[in-house]
Structure 1
Amino acid sequence: MDTPLPGRHNAITDVAGVRVGHVTRDEPGWLTGVTVVVPPPGTVGGVDVRGGAPGTRETDLLDPLRLVDRVDAIVLAGGSAFGLASADGVMQEAYADGHGWPVSAEDESEVVPIVPAAVILDLGRGGEFTHTPTAEDGARAWREAVAGPVAQGSVGAGTGARSGGLKGGVGTASAVVNGVTVGAIVVVNAMGSPCAPDGSLYAVRSGLAAEFAAVPDANPAAAQAYWSALAAAEAELRAGMATTIGVVATDATLTKVQCRKLAEVSHDGLARALSPVHTAYDGDTIFTLATGGKEAPTDLDLVHLQAASADCVTRAIGHAMLAATSMDRTADGGICLSSWADSLTTKVPG
């Protein structure tokens, strides 16, 4: 096995043909958004849902026993179940662009776009409970999806995210192993902590090519303040108030069954970066996309690909936490959360 290295942008878009679009709603009264992953036509999809309180769309269709195997887009959004409306806009844009599963033998323009989705619960964090992503937000995310570098932190579906007692967000990472590229994009809104007891990030231990070399260790004062904040955050939790969702993409040729297995193994990446995961309060969901740009891997190479995908999920969570920015919305009733970076300067009272 070759030593895995990050792709050019260290992002899911290092997988050829994959594009990402963000819509961020952070105007007064809002703190939510949409992130859309758009693969090339013919991409095979899979999913694995492990959280106890998921909010999803079209996940049953991705079961290996179901007919449809191609995916036109994956939507990650805030807004809890209300945010699933954003997938309607993506579906309409995909249809307008001619993407979808054919449903007519006579008219090839009659297609139904396949747009699975998952959401996080960020309701009310910007101040207004009813301010949630709309179909137009989803449509705009599709139109603005691009290849190349991907914005991270408090953007898109991660705009109103939190993780433990800290500000969460969107992160991405990639790896090239045995000539195959794999990448992940993750929205971190977990009940669990991204931090070890000393306040350092779990995810930095999985870095490739010294990507986290400049990340400082947390000091004891910051750690103490963090755990106090986490305890307060847990006291507010209800079922569905958390969730980590994401997409793993690869240019390997995989079957629908193999995509499902890739999603299952990718969940290992959550466990390496967050503790605990898959709780009754979380809706943890990972989608997978295989574009087929490269040949089908051998059995052993497939294992290497699965391991790299889990590591990409872990590293993406680390990038999300590092890129997140502190939010102070107490004036209009929203959240007040420090980012992990800002927590380094936190002083314990007294």
Structure 2
Amino acid sequence: MRPGPTNSMADVAGLRVGHAQRIGDGYRTGVSVVLAPPGGAVAGVDVRGAAPGTRETELLDPRNLVERVHAIVLTGGSAYGLSAACGVMERLADAGVGFPVAEGVVPIVPSAVIYDLGRGGRFRATPDGALGAAAYDAAVASAPAPSSAPAPASAPSSSAPSDAAASSAVPGLNGSIGAGTGAMAGGLAGGLGTASAVLPSGITVAALAVVNAAGSVLDPDSGLLSGTRYGLPGEFDHVREPDHDEFLRWQPLKAPSFNTTIGVVATDLTLSKAQCGKLAGVAHDGLARAIRPAHTMVDGDTIFAMSTCGRPGPVDTDLHDVLAAAADVFSRAVAHAVLHATGRRDAPAYLDVFPSARKRA
């Protein structure tokens, strides 16, 4: 396998990703949107955490009517943040995109939240429809990845949020952006991370993870970020195990009482709703490899899966290869989220806590 051109969710042809965030005036939170192609994407979901905050997940049951979704929203704000999906839904409806009904369309926008209340100082400073619309606008403005570009560690992000209260977009594909703006991970700064893989068959698999975990993202014996063990050649060459004494000195602050890691895994291989559900389930294996413990009573761990149906339906080998890649890609996305997160007083960055983990040239 090799990473896609941008090593991000955008490497799945037809998908676009946008972020918006608010920092200051009591806010430290944001919204991320994964936009499906114009005809929508087949989707599934797997909810493993005991404290989820979600919207429209029941529609993704293979027994139910709707076959395709038009966007997936990941947001901060706990249950309050679900209102961000309304802004995305309004934008899609204005563009005429949605499930056709007699008088128009109804956009299908499944969503999941993390608990980041109070991270900026005000408990009710949460995402709303305007911030969701800003993330949608950023996704629409994002350019498709060039097929021949190298795979960078980071690249320019989508355009700034459109409403005046939103902060400017943060450069980079990973870190304290979008829904990961206020995230924490086992006492460290959490964030948003993304990664991709192109299989020998040409099929692309990608993941986007918002890491706000109660569990630790560190190997308990070494302090290395657990997700880096699944990196592709060269991907995490700039990181090594920290000095053992440095690791032993690390005493994280007491973790917050509510958390959640959420994300999306996607492929261009044609899958059914049931197969997308399986893809989401296998991606949870990658979550559990990178975060321990996972799926706790105070986590709402939720992963969506999307198929753009850009390639013919799977033979058994294709499906198995995609499932295997999904777990590794999600682990890598978790590692990128933490490595690129911006530290703050109550949640230091990984490389600030463990400076010896940064390899020197």
Q: Is the TM value for this pair above 0.5?
A: yes
Q: 208, 227, 239: which is aligned to 1:203? A: 227
CA–CA separation in structure 2 for the residues paired with 1:78 and 1:42: 24
Q: CA deviation at 1:225?
A: 3.5
In structure 1, what is the equivalent of residue 317 of structure 2? Answer: 300
Q: CA deviation at 1:43?
A: 1.1
Matched, 1:326 2:343: yes
CA–CA separation in structure 1 for the residues paired with 2:333 and 2:35: 18
More displaced 10-residue stretch of structure 1: 20-29 or 178-187: 20-29
Q: CA deviation at 1:119?
A: 0.3
Say which SS state the counterpart of residue 318 (structure 1) adopts. helix
In structure 2, what is the equivalent of residue 96 of structure 1? Answer: 94
Output one character per residue of 1:161-187: Cα deviation in whole Å (capped at 9) or x when no partner: 000010000000000112100110000
CA–CA separation in structure 2 for the residues paired with 1:35 and 1:327: 21
Task: Please say if residues 175 and 181 of structure 1, whose CA atoms lie closer than 8 Å, have aligned partners that are also in contact.
Answer: yes
Q: 241, 245, 262: which is aligned to 2:262? A: 245
In structure 1, what is the equivalent of residue 40 of structure 2? Answer: 42
Q: 183, 207, 220: which is aligned to 1:184? A: 207
CA–CA separation in structure 2 for the residues paired with 1:54 and 1:42: 25
In structure 2, what is the equivalent of residue 142 of structure 1? Answer: 136
In structure 2, what is the equivalent of residue 233 of structure 1? Answer: 254
Matched, 1:263 2:284: no
* Identity fraction in percent: 53
Matched, 1:11 2:11: no
Output one character per residue of 1:23-79: Cα deviation in whole Å (capped at 9) or x when no partner: 011123111000000010231111000000000000011111111010000000000
Structure 1: which amino acid aligns with 2:219? A
More displaced 10-residue stretch of structure 1: 148-157 or 267-276: 148-157
In structure 2, what is the equivalent of residue 331 of structure 1? Answer: none
CA–CA separation in structure 2 for the residues paired with 1:250 and 1:61: 20
In structure 2, what is the equivalent of residue 69 of structure 1? Answer: 67
Structure 2: which amino acid aligns with 1:166? L
Matched, 1:217 2:241: yes
Q: CA deviation at 1:125?
A: 0.7
In structure 1, what is the equivalent of residue 192 of structure 2? Answer: 170
Say which SS state the counterpart of residue 292 (structure 1) adopts. strand
In structure 2, what is the equivalent of residue 122 of structure 1? Answer: 116
Runs of 4+ off more than 4 Å: none
Say which SS state the counterpart of residue 228 (structure 2) adopts. helix
Output one character per residue of 1:103-130: Cα deviation in whole Å (capped at 9) or x when no partner: 12xx5xx110000000000000100001
CA RMSD of aligned residues (A): 1.2
| TM-score in terms of structure 2 length | 0.88
In structure 2, what is the equivalent of residue 80 of structure 1? Answer: 78
Matched, 1:339 2:349: yes
CA–CA separation in structure 2 for the residues paired with 1:172 and 1:31: 20
1:15-26 map, 5 Å: 15-26=12-23
Say which SS state the counterpart of residue 69 (structure 2) adopts. coil
Task: Please say if residues 55 and 120 of structure 1, whose CA atoms lie closer than 8 Å, have aligned partners that are also in contact.
Answer: yes
| TM-score in terms of structure 1 length | 0.91
Q: CA deviation at 1:275?
A: 0.4
Say which SS state the counterpart of residue 286 (structure 1) adopts. strand
In structure 1, what is the equivalent of residue 58 of structure 2? Answer: 60
Q: CA deviation at 1:155?
A: 0.6
Task: Please say if residues 199 and 222 of structure 1, whose CA atoms lie closer than 8 Å, have aligned partners that are also in contact.
Answer: no
CA–CA separation in structure 1 for the residues paired with 2:219 and 2:121: 31
Structure 2: which amino acid aligns with 1:282? D
CA–CA separation in structure 1 for the residues paired with 2:263 and 2:84: 16
Structure 2: which amino acid aligns with 1:8? P
Q: CA deviation at 1:285?
A: 0.4
Task: Please say if residues 242 and 355 of structure 2, whose CA atoms lie closer than 8 Å, have aligned partners that are also in contact.
Answer: no
Q: CA deviation at 1:301?
A: 1.4
